[in-house]
A and B are shown apart, each in its own frame.
Chain A
Amino acid sequence: MLTIKNLSVSAQNKKILEDITYTFKKNKIYAVMGPNASGKSSLAFSIMGHPVYKISSKSEIIFKRRKINGLEPYKRAERGLFLSFQSPLPLSGVTVLQLLQVALSKKLDVLAMRKKAKQVAKELHMPEDLLSRSLNDGTSGGEKKKLEILQAVLLDRDLMIFDEIDTGVDVDALKTIATFLKKNRKGKTYILITHYNRILRYLKPDEVLVLGDGKLVKTGKHTLADKIEKAGYEMLNSKRKTIFRQAQDPERS
């Protein structure tokens, strides 16, 4: 589905990712873990094509057998990528329904889209009026994340990256979100970027990737996530302690 080869990325002349190679397969769930500033979000932004992240010339991002290095972000989305933001931006005066109407103008008629959005909102235990309010403007952390999920489902992309979908979300909302994602995973590839394995108890990852200082330092099965929870990231590499010094920080800045 998605292969990254020798991915090295810099932003504002600072090296952020270094030589990452990995293949994400269809129908699987991946967890990407690692301490703060280890490059998790940068990996997501680079895959989606954020203009600030400059990809080195020998890097390759191959999605559905096509190299997408130079493809504009909206085209990557149309080809089947979705990125759920860690901190979704407030869009004053723009509702999620208006956004989806524009994004889906060629695929789904307005009435069908609205009907589906209402149904998904109900399943996610969201008040319906959230759909016709300014997106992410004055909404709680949990509601913002649910709105991201709602867009993911309606846009119906094949590979979805969820950047800290579990941060700022209470226990009940987390359960709702995880259960919903599990139910709708058929035919989809999920990449869950997370600090904790709370969400991974509901959504068992097939593979766990650990990033450290911009490098892919370890991969393993879901048991790796458990180990990290118990022993922290330091247990992975005692020789390079400095890069994991923030590993036990319970909340992100």
Chain B
Amino acid sequence: MQDQTTGLDFEYRYGFSMPEKHVYKAQKGLSEHIVRTISKIKGEPEWMRAFRLKAYKIFCEKPMPDWGADLSRINFGEIYYYIKPTEKQVSSWEDLPREIKETYDRIGIPQAEKNFLAGVSAQYESEVVYESIQKELEKQGVVFCDMDTGLKKYPQIVREYFGTLIPPHDNKFAALNSSVWSGGSFVYVPKGANVKLPLQAYFRINAERFGQFERTLIIAEEGSSVHYVEGCTAPVYAADSLHAAVVEIFVKKNARVRYTTVQNWSTNVYNLVTKRARADEDAIMEWIDCNIGSQVTMKYPSVYLYGKGARGEVLSMAFAGRNQHQDAGAKMFHFAPNTSSRIISKSVSKDGGRTSYRGLVMVRPGAKNSNVFVSCDALILDEKSRSDTYPYMKIKESNTAVQHEATVEKLGDEKLFYLASRGIKRPDAETLLVNGFIEPVAREIPLEYSIEMNRLIQLEMTGSVG
């Protein structure tokens, strides 16, 4: 239904002007020319173009990581690095893979939403909801928009923070993102503002939603608080197989930020994301990270505990089915006294899937009275599946309390028999136990997401839909 004209209207409304629209033609592969072109199309300031070009050089020089999941099948030359939103759409509902359509039907989401998730339409009908939220936010002076708009409207703030916590040379994929980023969210919460409703990227109606190279920047000023939610439980179909996002969060003194992710990419996607937060004095940063989809995920949200008394937390959940490898975890860096960190990781592997917990906790000299808690539990559902744990601890301050727990369990026959004696058949019993296993993480995500996630686990467990 959406013709070229409405597509143009849409972009224009959100200040996304593209004078070269008809000149630029998407092409595969990456070059300095493409990086320049992306910046030019977006009409970016000189410093951003320079940033992109520098990042591109770093990307070319950096070797692939020699640890973690197998990334050897990524062919950088076969990827489109910038696609105009209108070209991004799958041409029709019928072209979608059958299993994606089936999953949508099973979860019971409305057609309009399905089209949106599947990339059939770039618009989602919750626009009204979004606009009313925007009005509320404006009253508090809170900014919530896409990153491109953020750069246009608030260039000074963006320039001050962008790429300072995760510089391009951090890793190859951060460098890639820095050179070709597009879309993502920009959130600015002024001093003392408490944002009541979670900010959901889901409702942020903009052309660049679900981009491959999203770039998100959140700044929570002193004493403020905000909860940001990205993703959704329905599988997101991406025709492009590489997703390399970067998320930077600044949590100022006494501020609190919670960032919740529910990721369910289609199983052709390499999901390689760098997420980092900086927590100042008495600030609280919480990452809640649920990974269900993708072919390979490598993601280790981290918190730099810079200020005295800062607290960091990562609650992470991963589910790996057939041909999936979820290599997820967390990183905590204690730089100041009285800082505390808590990592809780739950992973489930099934049908030959593989999960890895990879974590790093570092306590620097002088970070006295620091408190570290790490707990990682893995559940393996069959003989074909696999789980590994790589917990690294670098404690350079003797006055530190460290607690580490790890368990690996299988779904016990005794528990299944117990449930069978109550009249519950095996797939339902397994679903109950798996949902029980991830409950400590699931209870922390917004209710509507956790209900959907329970249903999704049920779907994965009963095996009807891959």
- A residues touching B (Cβ–Cβ < 8 Å)? 48-52, 72-74, 77-78, 81-83, 85, 88-89, 91-94, 98-100, 102-103, 134, 151, 155
Contact = CB atoms under 8 A, between A and B. Distances in A.
Contacts of A93: 435-440
Contacts of A82: 421-422
A202 B438 CA distance: 42
B414 A102 contact: no
B424 interface: yes
Nearest to A50: B417
B432 A102 contact: yes
Given A51-B413, A92-B437, A94-B436, A102 B424 contact: yes
Nearest to B432: A94
B432 to A, nearest CB: 5
10 contacts: A51-B413, A51-B417, A52-B413, A82-B422, A89-B412, A92-B436, A98-B435, A99-B422, A102-B424, A103-B422
Contacts of B417: 48, 50-51, 73
A77 B418 contact: no
Nearest to A135: B436
Nearest to A152: B422
The number of chain B residues touching the other chain, given as a range, is 20 to 34
Contacts of A89: 412, 414-415, 418
A77 B416 CA distance: 13
Given A74-B421, A102-B428, A155-B423, 6 more contacts: A77-B422, A89-B414, A91-B436, A93-B440, A99-B422, A100-B422
Interface of B: 412-415, 417-426, 428, 432-433, 435-440
A91 B415 contact: yes
A102 B432 CA distance: 8
Contacts of A98: 432, 435-436
B435 A94 contact: yes
B415 A103 contact: no
Contacts of A50: 417
Contact of B424 (A49, A74, A81): A74
Contacts of A83: 421
Contact of A99 (B425, B432, B440): B432
A93 B457 CA distance: 14
A241 B93 CA distance: 78
A34 to B, nearest CB: 22
A48 B420 CA distance: 9
Contact of A74 (B423, B436, B440): B423
Contacts of A49: 420
Contacts of A85: 418, 421
A103 B428 CA distance: 9
Given A85-B418, A94-B432, A78 B437 contact: no
